[in-house]
Structure 1
Amino acid sequence: MSRKVMHICLSNGWGGLEMYSSRIIPELRRQGWAAHGLAMAGSRVADSLVEAGIAPLTVASRGQALLRVGRLLRYLKAHDIRILHCHKSSDLCLGALLVTLRPSLRLFFTDHMGVTRPKKDPYHRWAYGKVSRLLSISETTRQRNLAAFPLPPERIRRLYLGIDPVPYAPRLTGSERQVLRDALGIPSGAVAIGLPGRLTPGKGQGIWIEALAGLRERYPALAWHGVLIGGLTAAEGSSEAFVAELRDRVAELGLGERVTFAGFRADLPRLFEAFDIVCVPSRNEAFGLTVIEAMAAGKAVIGADSGAIPELIDGQTGRLAAPDDSLAWCNAMAELAGDATLRQRLSEAARKEVSAHFTLESHVTGLVKAYTDTLDEPA
């Protein structure tokens, strides 16, 4: 049986969706599968696939990919690739066309975004009709997918994302951690409250800043410092207008000396070591990768009580707060900031939860099983 798959991601962006293929390729290889890739020429996706150890096919545009469908079919045949895996809905046209021309292919689609609108018009019925499995990255996303997509329920499967916990294990010495905290502007003895993520309205930084203002007013005895981790420019995936709004609001609230805009950082596993609390106030996460990364790092996490985040943490492993309630965020941060023993208990439980349910190994094991199952089904 062929144990080869081509991942298709024709995107010039750079977020969790675009990072997915390169993240799982080493584990796919370890589990005996060879991965191929199709990406936009010059994209970060293409570069990440090279870094993961494969030389992807590249095209200048989706239109060019459609024009080269014959070449793609010859490539798939020459390499005995029978599984195609798409990650953007806009790439499904290509995937469905390839399956139409070669029905022995199996087409997978992972909904990384959590669709919110029905897709049952004639085009989508054709494209999704060619999908062997639609993978939902949380139960919340699966329920949306069942309502939105023209597929029978048995073709829509939940498969939680996962991470390798090892890079997130603490490794800095005490002095190294202090140097990092100093670089982030965290005063000695202050509880560091971090919020990693793209600086866009849906990620909840605005409500978090309002909550910090409440924290200063309602709990004046607490020593704390907030750190925003995320690109400050459009090229880094953030909204520059929103960044300007956040900076202005921080100044208006008099929080300039208590909030650091750290910009994009590639060393997130180490940055977690500088924090005592990690906040993820995103309003509508389809999964919440940052949540399990912070849990694996042994942080006390506060997540939004919306989207898929409540599937990842509960009262034993973290705290939840309504995404539009600044007072709830204020009180949750105050509770954790004022109780180091509670933070430690939550962090230990969080690490265990990730190891039990959200590892990259378990994710890829489920993915490989789905691939294999479809190869046994009639075309």
Structure 2
Amino acid sequence: MNKAGNRAENAGAVDMARTEVIAPNLKQRLSGVTSTIVQLVPVQARNLGIAVFGPGLPDSLPKMRWWQLPWLLRRPETGRPRIWHARRNTEMVAGLVLRHVFRAQIRLVFTSAAQRDHRPFTKWLIRQMDGVIATSLMSGRFLEVPHKVVMHGVDLEKFHPPRGPDDAFAAAGLPGKYAIGCFGRVRHSKGTDLFVDAMIALLPHYPEWTAVITGRITAEHKGFGDELRQRIAAAGLSERILLLGEVPDVAVWYRRVTLYVAPSRNEGFGLTPLEAMASRTAVVASDAGSYSEIVTRGVTGDFVAANDGNALREAIRPYLADPALAEAHGAAGHEDVSTRFRLENEAAGLREIYDQVWAKG
């Protein structure tokens, strides 16, 4: 390693001479994009010089520091330009500024998860990219440029089937024999109220089941959370529909529940069904995001139209009536995700895009 590389290593930064891909994360708060980067980059780093850049990322990841930005003005040891892999508008803008204002030796790749018509400025940004990726067939339909679909993968080491007593629902010390879960930020867009309404209607008929909701309620959505608690209390189900807030390790809760529900009204991609399936848990979801491309109806779970509370309730009902059905679909889901949605698959798909961009010179 050269002297600059040694200084970088001592400062907790990557050796830029050997770093060919930068994955920026220009957002402080945790998001689905952040989660994707955190899970994916270690897999990519097995056979690629890659570094993350920006706030809110764990120190375990290879990082390019702010003081290393001048390194982007020159090419790495391989002689080919670095790739700046953006996943947000701000990151596309930053890449364009680096390339056209500061003359950075970079090529620009963008991953789009949005399932809506892009605004004119976003469309313009996308047209400036050297490579474009869609996270699903649906998101690809809103792109007006050539692109490749590379679906997200899931960390099969973190999200896995139950292995011991702590993974059993009984370990939680909560009432009931079986649990049904809904995890993620508690807010209207995530459909938490649709899940609560379904539980209020169903749980009185299925006394062995308890509903568990985890996830942060921000100040902006406090009123929404308070209203949910009031509905639950009015139904006399405060001990069977539980809002746990943020939990230290959500992965164990995927293993403790027998059925997972993803009732979002809208999503980008949406990783939680994959995390549930990797944990051998059946899934009922809306068709928001990529959920209908992830869940195989009647095999690994079911999905319904987004924002249809009645359909969601009726899709859940068969699993509460027959826990064995949930267990069978959970087993099928684990087999499916272990084949189709490995992080290695995603990393390989991205590498193909990078190679195509490098081939252009």
The residue identity in structure 1 corresponding to 2:56 is R
Equivalent residue number for residue 60 of structure 2: 51
Aligned-residue CA RMSD (Å): 2.5
Match of 1:128 in 2: 126
1:306 is aligned, of 288, 295, 311, to 288
Is residue 154 of structure 2 the alignment partner of residue 167 of structure 1? no
Alignment partner, residue 72 of structure 1: 69
Alignment of structure 1 residues 341-352 onto 2, 5 Å: 341-352=324-335
The answer to whether the 8 Å contact 2:300/2:329 transfers is: yes
1:200 to 177, 187, 196: 187
Partner-residue secondary structure (3-state), 2:211: strand
- Report SS of the residue matched to 2:108: strand
Contact 1:99 1:130 in 2 (8 A): no
CA deviation profile, 1:191-222 (whole Å, cap 9, x unmatched):
211001111111111011111121145xx254
TM-score of the pair, normalised by structure 2: 0.86
Question: TM-score under structure 1 normalisation?
Answer: 0.82
AA in 2 matched with 1:229? T
Q: Which residue of 1 aligns with 2:31?
A: 15
Q: Which residue of 1 aligns with 2:6?
A: none
Structure 1: how far apart are the matches of 2:167 and 2:110? 43
Query: Partner letter of residue 49 of structure 2?
Result: A
Change (3 A) 1:10 1:270: same
C-alpha contact (below 8 Å) 1:321/1:332 kept by paired residues: yes
**Aligned-partner SS, 1:131:** coil
- Cα–Cα, structure 1 residues 76 and 240, in superposed 2: closer, same or farther, change >3 Å? farther
Q: CA deviation at 1:20?
A: 2.3
Q: Secondary structure at the match of 1:283?
A: coil
Cα 1:106–1:176 change in 2 (3 A) is closer
Q: 1:37 to 1:76 in 2, by over 3 A?
A: farther
CA drift of 1:103 comes to 7.6
1:7-26 CA-partner distances (Å, limit 9, x unpaired): 11211110111222222121
Runs of 4+ in structure 1 over 4 Å off: 78-81
Q: Which residue of 2 aligns with 1:116?
A: 116
Query: How many angstroms does 1:326 deviate by?
Result: 2.4
Contact 1:222 1:338 in 2 (8 A): no
Aligned pair 1:137/2:135, yes or no? yes
CA–CA separation in structure 1 for the residues paired with 2:51 and 2:270: 27
Contact 1:76 1:82 in 2 (8 A): no
* Cα-to-partner distance string for 1:297-343 (whole Å, 9 max, x where unaligned): 11111011333211011221111123323232222222001213211
C-alpha spacing 1:307/1:38, structure 2 compared with 1 (3 Å): closer
Cα shift at 1:78: 6.3
Q: How does 1:232-271 map to 2 (within 5 A)?
A: 232-234=217-219, 239-271=221-253
What is the letter of the counterpart of residue 191 of structure 2? G
**Alignment check: 8 A CA contact 2:184 2:215 kept:** yes
**Is the aligned partner of 1:332 residue 2:315?**
yes
> 1:38 and 1:247, CA in 2 relative to 1: closer, same or farther beyond 3 A?
same
Q: What's the CA shift for 1:88?
A: 1.4
Q: Which of 4, 9, 33 is the aligned partner of 2:48?
A: 33
Name the residue aligned to 1:84. Answer: 84
Distance 1:180 1:231, change over 3 A: farther
| 1:274, distance to aligned residue in structure 2 (A) | 1.4
1:356 aligns with 2:357: no
2:361 is aligned with 1:374: no
Deviations 1:101-147 (A, max 9, x none): 548521011124x15343335x852x33331112111111111233x
Q: Determine helix, strand or coil for the equivalent of 2:29.
A: coil
Q: Secondary structure at the match of 1:145?
A: coil
Offset of 1:73 from its aligned partner?
A: 4.3
Q: Is the 8 A contact 1:106 1:374 kept in 2?
A: yes
**Alpha-carbon distance between aligned partners in 2 of 1:222 and 1:16, rounded to the nearest angstrom:** 34
Quickly say closer, same or farther: Cα 1:298–1:124, change in 2 above 3 A: closer
Give secondary structure in 1 for the equivalent of 2:272: helix
TM alignment of 1:197-236, pairs within 5 A: 197-216=184-203, 220-234=205-219
Distance 1:173 1:356, change over 3 A: closer
Structure 1 369/250 Cα, relative in aligned 2: closer, same or farther at 3 Å?
Answer: same
Contact 1:2–1:82 (8 Å) recurs in 2 = no
